[in-house]
Amino acid sequence: MTAQQIYEAVELCASRRHGVRDVEVHWRSGSESLTRFANNAIHQNVSETSHALSVRIVIGKRTARASTNRVDLAGIERCVEQAVALTKAMAIDEELLPLYEPVEAVYPAVDRFDEPTAECSPEARARAVAEAIRIVEEHGQTAAGIYSTEHLTETVCNSRGIRAMHRETMARFSITAMASDSSGWAKASAVRSADLDPAALARSAASKARASANPGEIDAAPYTVILEPSAVLDFVGQIMPDFSATSLADQRSFLTGRLGKPLFHPMIAIADDVTHPLQCGSPFDGEGVPRRIVPLVEAGVPKAVVYSRGAAAKASAAPTGHGLELPNDAGETPENIVIAGGTSSVEEMVASTERGVLVTRLWYIREVDPYDKIMTGMTRDGTFLVENGKVTCGLRNFRFNQSVLEALANVEMLGPAVRASGEETFDMVVPAMKIRGFGFTEVTRF
Amino acid sequence: MPRDYALQALDTALRPGVTYADVRVIESKDRSLSTKNGRAGTASSTEQLGLGIRVIADGCWGFAATDDLTKAGIDAAAHLAIGIARSGALAKKHDVELAGEDAHQAVWTSKCEIDPFAVPVEAQFAHLLDIDRELRRRKGITMAEGSMQFTRTRQIFASSIGSFIDQTRTVSGAGYSAYSFQNDEIQKRSYPTSFGGQYQQQGYEMVRELDMLLHAPRIAEETLALHAADQCPEGVFNLILESSQLGLQIHESIGHPIELDRVLGSEANYAGMSFLTLDQLNRLRYGSDIVNVVCDATESHGPGLGTFAFDDEGVPAQCVDIIRNGEFRGYMTSRETAAAVGATRSNGTMRAAGWDRLPLIRMTNVSLIPGKQKLAEVFDVDHGIYMETNKSWSIDDKRYNFQFGCEIAWEIKNGKRGRMLKNPTYSGISTEFWNSCDAIAGPEHWTLWGIPNCGKGQPEQVMGTGHGASPSRFRNVRVGGGYSE
């Protein structure tokens, strides 16, 4: 069935069988294929095709949701029946808004579907992987990583006239090159698989592993750091969920009492911008509200948060199109982060540093303090000592305990903003950063 | 019907050149409820039915999953799995070989005294809202949240060696937290533990046994008291951990390092590797003499999230020694990896997060065997710190260096609980930490905790694991590094 046919079946079932007029339907269908390699060979190789129908019912001031992947008529009817039953079991919620009506439902135009990526074959992925492995093997190293391609179609429809549809492809390549006592890593993602260069990523990972061989050890202490974009993404990305009106209202955001006050270095500007050419994702939120561009931080001053319809109504503000599927606890979240870049290259940052640490990526980052935004985590896969403007050797990895707020106040240089991929948060557009006084607190054994 | 889907997929997959195939058909339903500040938060139910087909063709693995369970959909998935496997030959070093296993036919259902799906949603919400009201009765509690999660999963496993296994599991989870913002500080307390509370393979009886409402006044009072508490000092201390925090410590510094696929490099690009290289087996002194750890998926261990009759390769549940009297004795293995440690059979730890994911080596119930000490003996130190309830966790990609934060701590002086301490953290090196263990409380204080959110694999799989522990003491542990100046 098409998304429209599924919606019509849901609406018909809700009205005829249950006397319910207000329905919201989410429909997702897609496929993800992933070729995984380790020890210089493909070892896991998978593909998944899936569908998800999710029905939200509104009866007066009550709402609830039921979901299924059974999209024959019987499955749809059962899903509606469960959503209705769950909704009727809910207590009245005086703050619940009616379904969104398309007064201004004009969605930003984004082009994020690439047919060759959607149809990428296992053989094409395997050939790229084989070449990447060959490059790493040439360096006398061992390769591990993934090459994935996926396509997704999502729609939000409701009985008040919302009809929002988005389709997207995504390709990701990640590689770790391992030598006897060192490793290097590189990762990239793009809407078009043709925009990825697995061989170049393999060469980068291998050269990092070679350059960090025979790592030295220096005492854990605050150092000037040069964080490559993936490290910036995974570190700074930890604070982004706090730019939420609901989080602010709940007083669990670090922005409580800080909105409008200088907090970061004046170079820091952060926006949520679904239209950015390096971004991905749908141009509407969980209720079908169009996403707006929201300047979150300007000249180091946090200026705004994102709003769902519900949070906006309570705050007498306008919804920004960042609401999550209802019902939920969290309200909304920014999803298309763009941190403005500068003009300094990583090489220039290194050249300007008397003594510091160059960091490829950060790992296992967790929040130690929710208001000061102290994060702990590890460096990984390419950590280097910088002395007198040059990278002099690889280093054993550090544990850090560092406030993101303090780090963004201590920024000294910014690189150009690029699309970055990591493993600790979703992809964002961020620059490399040079930051003084970054708090390394322990050294591990490798 | 699930049985027919499995047999059709298996039949289609067994083509010339395919040396092994297995199929899992999974039918699941869940209910997710939450409250926040006197209102319902999440209210949703989900049902899924799908199948995953795993094959070895041309010596390589292939896996395809689909929820299109028409004949054409199942056949397409089977052919795709074979095609994917054959593509792997473009980057192959050796043919996959599996350790032997018998064919099994079995039906197994986990214990569930009170069906959580038969308990009215209204009653479940009413219970959460009673707790919410009790937490927010204290002035200064700025946010209260509670949740319940219930899942029932029926899995049919069929393999080309002739196994046909039908297993049904019911999992319940519940818990709550109170938050307070004051003086530029956010404090939080949770019951029975943080990040969603306790999870076990039980019915609604688990929720009733938690007696959540009873503990709400204490949780609210402790949340508020933390603002006035002294900052946890930085230094080296005797450390006593409450059992849920120790469960997570086991998970991170023992459970993950003993995954043999990780040791062999399968996870190197994502979760990382392990300090437990193969030469350490039966040689490494992992912990002190009193440290005994098992990986136990059998029902006799309790209703843990890692309890089952057969794993997702059709291997029977087993209890395996991991650490015996402090010595490192075993890894978690699969049919593919067992030979790497000289074993002729898998010890049964392969599990997948759903029909759409490939089975991986996953912790079952990795538990610290209770000791002989009474609780008062564990606390019997001149000076120490006692920490409760996890707040943050982090460990390096080879599992040497860890750091944990807890919600609350108390100073211990001459065996007695003294002043409250806020923002406690501790850190160390895994083997040094376990070798510093010098007291473990007895079985009367042992709890089998459930961790519902363990991530591993690419695409990532989120899995539940079980960890039994009782309060224990560790000497000379670094404390306070998280707030180091």
Among A137, A256, A366, most B C-beta atoms within 10 A, so best to mutate, is A366
* Percentage of the residues of chain A whose pLDDT score is greater than 90: 99
Give the position of tokens 């060959």.
A134
Q: Are strands B472-479 and B425-429 parallel, antiparallel or unpaired?
A: antiparallel
Quick check: A446 and B458 CB within 8 A? Answer: no
Indicate whether B256 pLDDT > 90: yes
Band (A1; pLDDT cuts 50, 70, 90)? confident
Chain A residues closer than 8 Å to B43 by CB:
63-65, 86-87, 90, 327
> Which chain A residue shows the shortest CA-CA distance from B65?
A48
User: What is the pLDDT at residue A103?
Assistant: 74
Cα–Cα distance measured from residue B3 to residue B164, given in angstroms and rounded to the nearest whole number: 9
Chain B residues closer than 8 Å to A178 by CB:
265, 268
A336 residue type, one letter: N
Cα–Cα distance measured from residue A47 to residue B358, given in angstroms and rounded to the nearest whole number: 10
Indicate whether B425 pLDDT > 80: yes
Chain A residues closer than 8 Å to B40 by CB:
90-91, 93, 327
Who contacts B165 (Cβ-Cβ below 8 Å, separation ≥6)? Answer: B104, B105, B106, B107, B108, B155, B156, B157, B158, B309, B310, B314
Selecting from B42, B269, B482 the residue whose C-beta is nearest the C-beta of A146 gives: B269
Q: Are strands B39-57 and B18-36 parallel, antiparallel or unpaired?
A: antiparallel
Residues 64-83 of chain A with CB under 8 A from chain B are: 64-70, 78-79, 82-83
Burial environment of residue A111 by CB neighbours within 10 A (0 to 12, 13 to 18, 19 or more): exposed
Instruction: Map residue A189 onto helix, strand or coil.
Output: strand
CB atoms closer than 10 angstroms to residue A142: 20
How much is the CA Rg of chain B, to the nearest whole Å?
Answer: 23
The two tokens of residue B236 are: 């080296």
DSSP A124-187: HHHHHHHHHHHHHHHTT-EEEEEEEEEEEEEEEEETTS-EEEEEEEEEEEEEEEE-SS-EEEEE
pLDDT in tens, B282-317: 999 999 999 999 999 999 999 999 999 999 999 999
Burial environment of residue A127 by CB neighbours within 10 A (0 to 12, 13 to 18, 19 or more): middle
B159 residue type, one letter: S
Cα–Cα distance measured from residue B306 to residue B298, given in angstroms and rounded to the nearest whole number: 9
Round to the nearest angstrom and report the end-to-end CA distance of chain A. 54
Burial environment of residue B111 by CB neighbours within 10 A (0 to 12, 13 to 18, 19 or more): middle
pLDDT in tens, B321-342: 999 999 999 999 999 999 999 9
CB atoms closer than 10 angstroms to residue B157: 23
A347 sits in which H/E element: helix A346-351
Alpha helices in B336-456 (DSSP H): 375-378, 430-435
User: How near does any CA of chain B get to the CA of A97, in Å?
Assistant: 14
- Does residue A329 sit at the B interface (CB-CB below 8 Å)? yes
CB atoms closer than 10 angstroms to residue B130: 15
Quick check: A369 and B483 CB within 8 A? Answer: yes
Helix axes B212-228 and B121-136, enclosed angle (nearest 10): 30
* Percentage of the residues of chain B whose pLDDT score is greater than 70: 100
pLDDT in tens, B435-444: 999 999 999 9
| Cis peptide leading into residue A229 (ω within 30°) | no
Instruction: Map residue B14 onto helix, strand or coil.
Output: coil
Give the position of tokens 């305990």.
A401
Cα–Cα distances (Å) from A315 to A97, A162, A311, A331, B145, in that order, read: 14, 24, 6, 13, 21
Chain B residues closer than 8 Å to A35 by CB:
87-88
Among B458, B460, B477, B485, most A C-beta atoms within 10 A, so best to mutate, is B458
User: How near does any CA of chain A get to the CA of B3, in Å?
Assistant: 17
User: What is the pLDDT at residue A104?
Assistant: 66
How are strands ordered across the β-sheet holding A428-430?
A: A301-302, A294-298, A270-272, A337-339, A428-430, A418-420
Alpha helices in B275-385 (DSSP H): 375-378
pLDDT in tens, A294-346: 999 999 999 999 999 999 999 999 999 999 999 999 999 999 999 999 999 99
Selecting from B48, B270, B356 the residue whose C-beta is nearest the C-beta of A423 gives: B270
How confident is the prediction for chain B on average, in pLDDT? 97
| CA-based nearest residue to B5, from B71, B104, B94 | B71
How confident is the prediction for chain A on average, in pLDDT? 97
Instruction: Map residue A295 onto helix, strand or coil.
Output: strand
- Please list, residue by residue across B73-104, b when 16 or more beta carbons sit within 10 angstroms of its beta carbon and e when fewer do: bbebbbebbbbbbbbbbbbbeeebebbebeeb
Cα–Cα distance measured from residue B442 to residue B286, given in angstroms and rounded to the nearest whole number: 21
- What are the two backbone dihedrals, phi and then psi, of residue B410, each rounded to the nearest 5 degrees? -135, 145
- What are the two backbone dihedrals, phi and then psi, of residue A213, each rounded to the nearest 5 degrees? -65, 155
pLDDT average, residue stretch B103-110: 98
Strand partners for B230: B421
- Does residue A94 sit at the B interface (CB-CB below 8 Å)? no
Cα–Cα distance measured from residue A362 to residue A157, given in angstroms and rounded to the nearest whole number: 40
User: What is the pLDDT at residue B485?
Assistant: 77
pLDDT in tens, A234-254: 999 999 999 999 999 999 999
Is-contact A270 A302, C-beta < 8 A? no
Cα–Cα distance measured from residue A359 to residue A398, given in angstroms and rounded to the nearest whole number: 10
Chain A residues closer than 8 Å to B181 by CB:
251-252, 256, 371
Chain A residues closer than 8 Å to B88 by CB:
35, 42, 45, 122, 126
Cα–Cα distances (Å) from A19 to A13, A15, A59, A81, A99, in that order, read: 9, 4, 10, 11, 17
Cα–Cα distance measured from residue B383 to residue B238, given in angstroms and rounded to the nearest whole number: 7
- Using alpha carbons only, give the angle A24, A25, A31 rounded to the nearest 5 degrees: 155
Cα–Cα distance measured from residue B37 to residue A249, given in angstroms and rounded to the nearest whole number: 11
Band (B355; pLDDT cuts 50, 70, 90)? very high
Residues 352-391 of chain A with CB under 8 A from chain B are: 363-371, 374, 376-378, 380
| CA-based nearest residue to A321, from A376, A275, A252, A363 | A275
Is-contact B168 B151, C-beta < 8 A? no
Is-contact B170 B203, C-beta < 8 A? yes
Chain A residues closer than 8 Å to B141 by CB:
none
Quick check: B47 and A70 CB within 8 A? Answer: yes
Instruction: Map residue B378 onto helix, strand or coil.
Output: helix
pLDDT in tens, A171-193: 999 999 999 999 999 999 999 99
Ramachandran sector of residue A214 (left: φ over 0; alpha: ψ -120 to 50; beta: rest): left
Quick check: A45 and B83 CB within 8 A? Answer: no
User: What is the pLDDT at residue A102?
Assistant: 81
Please tell me whether the interface predicted TM-score (ipTM) of this complex is above 0.90.
yes
A380 residue type, one letter: R
Quick check: B120 and A148 CB within 8 A? Answer: no
Chain B residues closer than 8 Å to A39 by CB:
93, 264-266
Quick check: A368 and B36 CB within 8 A? Answer: no
Write down how long chain B is: 485
B260 sits in which H/E element: helix B260-263
Cα dihedral across residues B221, B223, B224, B230: positive or negative: positive
Selecting from A43, A48, A87 the residue whose C-beta is nearest the C-beta of B356 gives: A48
Band (B1; pLDDT cuts 50, 70, 90)? confident
> Which chain A residue shows the shortest CA-CA distance from B66?
A49
User: How near does any CA of chain A get to the CA of B48, in Å?
Assistant: 5
- What are the two backbone dihedrals, phi and then psi, of residue B314, each rounded to the nearest 5 degrees? 80, 25
